[in-house]
């Protein structure tokens, strides 16, 4: 009892040091049994009287702590022997035994504290990281990667169109055998036309080019140029003419040239014969277009085109003289509609201007059909005329787009020119 009274007296005289809350939490986390006392029962400093705190009692308390966690320093003994044991609060690094209130530690307490303190230090160094420490480590952001990668130069639209053409496999367009556009100007011209037709929209240009390649692979237009068509059905219905300037040269160093296709629908002898078989009519019309492309000579071009400069285009003339049946004929309507759609899809940026001559008043439906399938900038190139003899005047005006000077005088006589009749100066698809 005397010893207990002395301890109480000392405790009152020497208040218990304030426990480090962080250290106490770490020690509490390590406890493996639910035996921790309330927070108010914090351990106090060892009594200064050697007799009040015999060494064997310190050893007994250390043995009890060892059953739960690494032993604390002997200077931090529980207040009562029979009270529930709470782990002593410790820092991450071991501390020296707390001195007495008079500034000196007893020899017995210091000796008893030396060995447990070493064990506590070793245990602190070897213990597993706490859950909080593990979470903090996991939450720490990984350092940003510092790898350096070389940026490949972006491909040009022409290069991407060329890749598409290669992947498809069909070898030609408009008589041009496709090759690397960086060194093959004719291929570059063809691909540039698809970009120009779509105002530089690469996705649309790719889609149109792919469809053209598919159509040409299936239809084989160059083979149609060699095909002979029925003269009774198609004789006199279509011609190609070309005009060059004597001694003149274009920007590419070649002769200045203008190419025309002439469609003489007034020469149809039988609607049923000419338009009854739509596929046959389309084949004949494609053959006529391919003849004109051969005259245009893109395959021998030596200078590329741009969005603003492109001399590789064709004039088209549609003559409706003496026609009084087109408005009522479903065959002609179907042939006209299909031709417009097919040419808009597969022959982009090849039209310089189109003239509708000798057009009756009721022929407005043809122009309306074209507006449905042709780009607005292309529709502006269309010129309806009621009198074909006035065509030559269109090329005498200051605003003429012709490459050849005085082109109007070179046209066939029936269109106001000074040349011979169209049938005598023009070329037709093969007939039999």
Specify whether the CB–CB gap between 379 and 427 falls below 8 A.
Answer: no
The pLDDT value recorded for residue 365 is: 65
| Paired tokens of 44 | 């106090």
Instruction: Supply angle C-alpha 368, 190, 311, rounded to 5.
Output: 75
pLDDT digits (tens, 9 = 90+) for 109-145: 444 444 444 444 444 444 444 444 444 444 455 555 5
| Paired tokens of 385 | 């005329």
The pLDDT value recorded for residue 256 is: 84
List C-alpha distances in Å: 361 to 100, 366, 370, 376: 123, 11, 16, 23
Helices (DSSP H) in 220-329: which residue ranges?
221-225, 231-234, 271-275, 278-296
Please name the residues in contact with 210: beta carbons below 8 A apart, sequence gap of 6 or more.
164, 168
3-state secondary structure of 129: coil
The pLDDT value recorded for residue 399 is: 74
CA dihedral 208, 213, 216, 219 (to 10 degrees): -90
The pLDDT value recorded for residue 143 is: 52
Cα gap 167→150, rounded to integer Å? 26
Phi, psi of 392 (to 5 degrees): -60, -30
Please name the residues in contact with 84: beta carbons below 8 A apart, sequence gap of 6 or more.
35, 36, 37, 41
The pLDDT value recorded for residue 366 is: 66
Give me the domains of the chain, ranges plus CATH numbers: 2-132 (no CATH), 157-218 (no CATH), 228-425 (3.40.525.10)
| Paired tokens of 379 | 């529709």
Phi, psi of 316 (to 5 degrees): -125, 135
pTM above 0.75, yes or no: no
pLDDT digits (tens, 9 = 90+) for 385-408: 889 999 999 998 777 889 898 899
Specify whether the CB–CB gap between 217 and 418 falls below 8 A.
Answer: no
Those residues of the chain that have pLDDT short of 70 are: 1-152, 247-255, 324-328, 361-367
The pLDDT value recorded for residue 363 is: 64
């Amino acid at each position: 009892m005397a010893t207990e009274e002395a301890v109480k007296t000392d405790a009152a005289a020497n208040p218990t040091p304030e426990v480090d809350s962080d250290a106490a939490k770490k020690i509490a986390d390590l406890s493996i049994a639910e035996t921790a006392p309330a927070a108010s029962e914090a351990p106090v400093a060892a009594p200064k009287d050697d007799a009040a705190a015999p060494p064997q009692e310190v050893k007994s308390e250390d043995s009890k702590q060892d059953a739960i966690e690494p032993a604390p320093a002997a200077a931090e003994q529980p207040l009562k022997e029979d009270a529930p044991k709470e782990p002593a609060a410790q820092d991450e690094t071991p501390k020296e035994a707390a001195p007495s209130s008079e500034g000196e530690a007893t020899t017995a307490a210091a000796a008893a504290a030396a060995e447990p303190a070493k064990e506590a230090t070793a245990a602190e160094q070897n213990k597993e990281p706490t859950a909080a420490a593990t979470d903090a480590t996991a939450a720490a952001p990984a350092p940003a990667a510092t790898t350096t990668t070389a940026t490949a130069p972006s491909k040009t639209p022409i290069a991407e169109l060329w890749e598409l053409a290669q992947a498809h496999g069909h070898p030609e367009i408009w008589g041009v055998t496709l090759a690397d556009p960086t060194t093959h100007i004719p291929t570059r011209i063809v691909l540039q036309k698809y970009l120009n037709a779509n105002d530089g929209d690469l996705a649309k240009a790719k889609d149109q080019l792919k469809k053209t390649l598919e159509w040409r692979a299936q239809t084989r237009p160059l083979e149609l140029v060699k095909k002979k068509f029925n003269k009774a059905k198609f004789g006199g219905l279509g011609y190609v003419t070309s005009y060059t300037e004597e001694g003149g040269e274009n920007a590419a160093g070649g002769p200045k040239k203008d190419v025309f296709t002439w469609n003489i629908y007034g020469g149809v002898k039988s609607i049923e014969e000419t338009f009854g078989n739509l596929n046959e009519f389309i084949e004949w019309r494609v053959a006529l277009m391919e003849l004109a492309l051969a005259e245009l000579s893109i395959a021998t071009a030596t200078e590329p085109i741009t969005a603003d400069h492109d001399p590789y285009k064709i004039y088209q003339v549609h003559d409706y003289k003496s026609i009084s049946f087109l408005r009522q004929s479903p065959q002609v309507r179907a042939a006209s509609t299909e031709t417009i759609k097919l040419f808009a899809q597969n022959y982009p940026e090849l039209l310089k201007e189109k003239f509708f001559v000798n057009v009756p008043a009721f022929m407005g439906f043809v122009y309306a059909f074209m507006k449905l399938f042709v780009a607005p900038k292309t529709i502006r190139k269309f010129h309806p005329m009621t009198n074909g003899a006035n065509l030559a005047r269109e090329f005498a005006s200051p605003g003429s787009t012709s490459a050849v000077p005085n082109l109007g005088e070179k046209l066939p006589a029936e269109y106001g020119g000074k040349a011979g009749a169209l049938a005598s100066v023009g070329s037709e698809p093969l007939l039999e």
